[in-house]
Structure 1
Amino acid sequence: MNPKTGPSGLSESLRFSRFGRLAVANILSNLMVPLAGLVDTAFLGHLDDIHHLGGVALATAIFNVVYWSFGFLRMGTTGTTAQARGRGDGVGLWLILLRNGAVALGGGLLILLLQVPIREAGFSLLQAEAAVKAAGYAFYNARIWDAPAVLLNLVLLGWFLGQEQGRRVLVLSLIGNGSNVLFNSLFIGYLGWASAGAGLGTALSQYVTMLVGVGLILRDGGFAKLRQVAPQGWDRQALKGVFSLNRDILIRTFALVISLALFTNLSSALGTQTLAANTLLLQVVMLSAYFIDGIAFATESFAGRYYGSGNRAELRRLLWLGGGTSVGLGLTFALTFNLFPQTLFGLLTSHKTVIDTVEIYVRWLLPILSLGAIAYMLDGYFLGLTAGKVLRNATVLAAGMGFFPLAMVAQRLESPHLLWLALTGLMAGRAVTLLWAVPKSLQPDPPPGTP
């Protein structure tokens, strides 16, 4: 077999234009998510009562822990789908959608059944004023009903990404997140439902996204194809591999979201003003992450395909291309917000005291976004290789040694700067440990952690 072609006969050569098209489509689709969140933040940040902004931040921390813990549905789907495509395994593509889709729907229904215990446990661990918690409750109670749609959307996104279907990913994001902006403009801006309106708008937009994604699959004759492969859905060995990979990614994701949730919780313990400022800065971190994730998603798709076809030379080129682009984007964001903090953060809130507080800590964006860019890109690379153990070990080590010790010191000394140093330690730890694993992944043997 020609090393430049895979089993499917398609060209395996990595070109910047080919990588760039998928990356741009991913970036544009990703961009719709933080823009919708920024619209929510802008609406809530301009209300007379700042408690709504803090309340949504607290409730979002809970949703991050719950939903991001199921991030393995997107991550595991993309890598396995890309590898199946690299092998030319058409039946395997539909089996991945069937199995992971069933897991997603089951997980979503379980979340709905446990919504009250999740809410009470989550808010009992979060520290905030009574008014802030009340706003958080309102957002949570409205949004929690989107759980089945959120999890199924993760599978749909991963499946489309694994096949390099960037246009479909973009369509899903444009329609789904565009509807989120419209719903929240209506519920927050016009009806004045504040945090409850933000939660309801987000929930409805998730169902819009799900319906569009299912419609795209049905248009390709997906119902008949899923029925055809359904008898093979229950394969003990295949399911064992799925759950093994998903378990490792779950642990990795859980360590990451717990770290970010603790960051928000410790911010709230430092006062509403610090919580509001850190919330705005985290919005910038998340905004840049969505850009960088566009590069990471493209890296993941190509890494899975090249690994599936055994093309190690293209994997090396992919690492340089993805890494350089990611770091460039991260530094661009950090420098822009450092140069124009009053103007850019003024778009998100009219509270001058909050912007003044932001200016004190905005320099932390430089190390966090540059190191985070490396970590996010390598996440995509190893996800494409389905090297779940590498991702699990790297993130657990980074959280345990890079974030938690510094975060505890920050809490004891009541130091926001040390809290941001802890977040920097998390990003640095992930970047260093993942870089350490790269050489082994380029050897002829299977990458470490491959199920």
Structure 2
Amino acid sequence: MVPLAGLVDSAFLGHLVEIRHLAGVALATALFNYLYRPCNFLRMGTTGPTAQAEASGDSAAVILILLRNGLIAIALGTLILLLQSPLRQLGFTLLRADPSVMAAGQTYYSARIWDAPATLLNFVLIGWLLGRERSGQVLLLSALSNGANILLDYWLIVRWGWESFGAGVATAASQYLMLLVGLILIVSETPLAQWRSARHLFDWTALSATFRLNANIWVRSLVFISVYAFFTSLSASLGTVPLATNALLLQVMILAIYFIDGLAFATESLTGSLQGAGTLTQLKPLLKLSSGIGLALGLGFAILFALAPEPLFGLLTNHGEIIEQVERYVFWLLPILGFGSLAFVLDGYFLGLTAGEILRNSMILAAIVGFGPLAIASWQLGTNQLLWSAMAAFMTVRVAALASQVPKTLVAEAIPQPDQSPTPAAAEPTPDPQA
């Protein structure tokens, strides 16, 4: 649902008379990715611990994980709102483009930035529901949010002519709708007695474990988004047409990745549940099944768009020069989504084990060794083909680094959990989100 709404955004903007609105929103989206996607540690750092606590029967820890990460989300969302002006100035200074494209991007930013608290809280709610294996409720929230986004896109962009500003308003409003419904679902089904565990909210041992896990995932996410931000910035340096071309290809990548992420979320939830229940022998068959399905999904998307680029990308834009350029680069989706699918499944596996250090280190290695050298060469030579090869190398190194750590986790005696702290020993132990 999330990438489909993004594709509809691109389709509405791509069919406007001026292509600058599509390019401007792509530029601003890179900035929002830089702001929000690193904060996805709020979801990633919630699902695994929640699944482990749920499987072990610790209902107090389940509630405390929600409350602790929710407080972090509110604090970060408020901080982003307070710093919105300097963040806009810094972001659009780094992400250079034509003045008309910059203006469209800043208009989108000014409308969407107000959804910061809702977006970050939604990360926590989704992570918590996934950890409890409530995927039906996640689907409901996603359908409501993204369905509303599509309807508002049509009304504000097509009917009212608000262009990039309308796209920003639609996204922000849909996030608040998702938050409202999510809170109603959680409060209505959680017994009042379980909320009494909130008195342990500021247990410093548990908080330090939460912050340690979240810090590692935050670094991992920051590096990941930095790669995409540099990719977009280098695309903009090549001109408006290459930027718009790469934006459409990235939308297809995101569509495929979200499908694969659904599989990764399930892997994360089930891995955490197996870890919490102590049934470690099921980890290997789970990982083999998830990896096989993920690879089929990734390659399936890549092959579909590589075989029929003109009719499929024609749904997103009616600018012939953009579609012609897309046909030159669409084959890069094969290695990117092939290796990327395995990397995202492995992300879910290690998140379920709360192995934040492994995720952090593998992402840093992939950015430095895989993406960096070819991206620099692309910038020096002004070649879009090299830029796409840098993205392919990034995914390849990433999956290799993660896969090299898998054998260590399949030792039956113990699963390495570098981000967990021991449960405090006491007559009435304080609930620990990592227990």
* TM-score normalised according to structure 1 size: 0.92
Aligned with residue 344 of structure 1, among 309, 312, 315: 312
Counterparts of 1:293-372 in structure 2 under 5 Å?
A: 293-372=261-340
Q: Of residues 206, 212, 217 in structure 1, which corresponds to 2:186?
A: 217
Contact 2:283 2:410 in 1 (8 A): yes
Q: Identify the residue that residue 44 of structure 1 maps to in structure 2.
A: 13
Structure 2: distance between partners of 1:288 and 1:380: 16
The CA distance in 1 between the partners of 2:385 and 2:400, in whole Å, is 22
Q: Corresponding residue for 1:178?
A: 147
* Aligned-pair CA distance for 1:86: 1.6
Amino acid at match of 1:368: I
Paired residue type of 1:105: I
C-alpha separation between the residues in 1 aligned to 2:110 and 2:147? 22
Question: Is the CA contact 1:403–1:425 (under 8 Å) kept in the aligned structure 2?
Answer: yes
**Distance in 2 of aligned mates of 1:221 and 1:41:** 39
* Correspondences of 1:60-75 after superposition (within 5 Å): 60-75=29-44
The answer as to whether partners of 2:25 and 2:105 remain within 8 angstroms in 1 is yes
Q: Distance in 2 between matches of 1:230 and 1:394?
A: 35
Q: Does 1:235 align with 2:235?
A: no
CA separation of 1:211/1:404 partners in 2, compared to 1, >3 Å: closer, same or farther? same
2:329 paired with 1:384: no
Mapping of 1:272-311 within 5 angstroms? Answer: 272-311=240-279
- Secondary structure of the residue aligned to 2:404 is helix
Aligned to 2:216: 248
Q: Aligned to 1:446, which of 406, 415, 419?
A: 415
Q: Distance in 2 between matches of 1:222 and 1:207?
A: 25
Measured after TM superposition, the shift of residue 222 of structure 1 is: 5.7
User: Could you tell me how far apart the structure 1 residues matched to 2:55 and 2:193 are?
Assistant: 23
| Cα distance per residue 1:81-122 (max 9 Å; x no partner) | 001012111111000011011111111001000111111110
Aligned counterpart for 2:107 among listed residues 117, 134, 138: 138
Identity %: 53
User: Is residue 85 from structure 1 mapped to residue 54 from structure 2 by the alignment?
Assistant: yes
Corresponding residue to 1:426 among 383, 388, 394: 394
1:232 and 1:48 map into 2 onto residues whose CA distance is: 57
* Unaligned ranges ≥5, structure 2: 421-435
- Structure 2 partner of 1:95: 64
Partner Cα distance (1:81, 1:352) in 2: 49
Determine which of 142, 153, 157 is the counterpart of 2:126.
Answer: 157
1:221-260, Cα deviation, whole Å (9 max, x unpaired)? 466633x111100000000000000000000000000000
Task: Summarize the Cα distance change of 1:305–1:221 in structure 2 as closer, same or farther, 3 Å threshold.
Answer: closer
Q: Cα–Cα, structure 1 residues 281 and 232, in superposed 2: closer, same or farther, change >3 Å?
A: same
* Aligned: 1:105 with 2:74: yes
- Residue 411 of structure 1 is matched in structure 2 by 379
Contact 1:406 1:421 in 2 (8 A): yes
| CA RMSD after TM alignment | 0.9
* Counterpart Cα distance in 2 of 1:190 and 1:429: 46
Of 354, 363, 374 in structure 2, the residue corresponding to residue 395 of structure 1 is 363
Distance (whole Å) between structure 2 residues aligned to residue 221 and residue 257 of structure 1: 35
Match of 2:432?
Answer: none
Deviates more, 1:441-450 or 1:201-210: 441-450
**Closer, same or farther: CA 201–292 of 1 in aligned 2, 3 Å:** same
Contact kept, 8 Å, 1:385 with 1:450, in 2: the verdict is: no
Contact 2:353–2:417 (CA under 8 A) maintained in structure 1: no
Distance (Å, rounded) in 1 between the aligned partners of 2:165 and 2:38: 24
How big is each residue's C-alpha offset from its partner over 1:150-172, in whole Å with a ceiling of 9 and x where there is no partner?
A: 00000000000001101100110
Q: Please state how far the C-alpha of 1:325 moved relative to its aligned partner.
A: 0.2
Measured in 2, the distance between the counterparts of 1:230 and 1:155 equals 17
Q: Distance in 2 between matches of 1:425 and 1:447?
A: 28
| Aligned counterparts of 2:51 and 2:41: Cα–Cα separation in 1 | 15
Judge conservation of contact 1:371–1:431 (CA < 8 Å) in 2.
Answer: yes
For the 8 Å contact 2:70–2:121, the answer to whether it is kept is yes
Offset at residue 178 of structure 1 (A): 0.7
Question: What's the CA shift string for 1:1-53, capped at 9, x where partnerless?
Answer: xxxxxxxxxxxxxxxxxxxxxxxxxxxxxxx1111111110000000000000
Equivalent residues, number: 419
Superposition deviation, residue 405 in structure 1: 1.4
User: Is the Cα–Cα contact under 8 Å of residues 441 and 448 in structure 1 kept in the other structure?
Assistant: no
Question: Residue 39 of structure 2 aligns to a residue in which SS?
Answer: coil
CA deviation string 1:147-196 (max 9, x = no partner): 00000000000000001101100110011111111111111011010000
Matched to 1:257, the amino acid is: I
Show the counterpart of 1:190: 159
Residue identity opposite 1:376 in structure 2: F
> Could you tell me how far 1:449 is from its partner in structure 2?
3.1
Question: Mind listing any 5+ residue stretches in structure 1 that lack a counterpart?
Answer: 1-31
Partner in structure 1 of residue 425 of structure 2? none
